[in-house]
Amino acid sequence: MNALSTFPISEKWPAQHPERIQLYSLPTPNGVKVSIMLEELGLPYEPHLVRFDANDQLSPAFLSLNPNNKIPAILDPNGPDGAPLPLFESGAILIYLADKTGQLLARSGAARYEAIQWVMFQMGGIGPMFGQLGFFHKFAGKEYEDKRPRDRYVAESKRLLNVLDQHLAGRTWIMGDDYSIADIATFPWVRNLVGFYEAGDLVGFDSFSNVKRVLDAFVARPAVQRGLEIPKRV
């Protein structure tokens, strides 16, 4: 019996490589944070597609790993002290994988907490606000005659982009010269805002030249290009 076989999620998504980190995800802005991180680190992992169209995220198997029914989630057979570790919430997973490998996040000192603060900025601000803007601009909310909800999220998205743009002035990455989990957390959402959500004109994205510059550098990274397509949609 392998270390993962006792977890109910393994019944729905059997591990072909149980010695590897198991990733349960979908290539959304939150999902690709973890696939990009794993690609950047070069850690062996096995991706499993969680299909929203089939309500996989509401299945008892998935809920046994993440009771909040959101992707991504991981199951690391070699967690702390060698015991398997199930983990959800993309920000928590990024920090865990950085600590596991000693990469993309300072181990101690001010730089560690500054990077985590920008991860929280994405988790608490950029992700939720850009997501709401996407709903009101591209999805069901676009049919609402009252545009005040959309405009509220347009204004807040602009404000957040301005905070990020000013911070990036004179910096290569969010943490300066060092690429980190702060970039991996943030730029999939920026890419989604101007790409999939088609909201670039709405927020005046071209005026945020520093954000645009760093986004271009981010998507040019080979590990990012690979991670954006994982897990493969079927």
Domain 110-221 has CATH 1.10.10.10: no
Total Cβ atoms within 10 A of residue 178: 16
Q: Rounded to an integer, what distance in angstroms lies between the CA atom of residue 89 and that of residue 84?
A: 17
> Model confidence over 138-152: pLDDT tens digits?
999 999 999 999 999
> Model confidence over 67-92: pLDDT tens digits?
999 999 999 999 999 999 999 999 99
Question: Which pLDDT does position 1 carry in this prediction?
Answer: 47
Omega into 84 within 30° of 0, i.e. cis?
Answer: no
Residue 47's nearest CA partner among 70, 64, 71 is 71
Residue 187's nearest CA partner among 152, 163, 211 is 211
Q: Which CATH class is domain 9-104?
A: alpha beta
Quick check: 17 pLDDT over 70?
A: yes
Beta strands 85-88 and 73-76: pairing type? antiparallel
Overall pTM > 0.85: yes
For 195-227, b/e burial (b = at least 16 CB within 10 A) is eebebeebbebeebebbbebbeebeebebbeeb
Quick check: 137 pLDDT over 60?
A: yes
Contact 98, 112 (CB under 8 A): no
> What are the boundaries of each domain within the chain?
9-104, 110-221
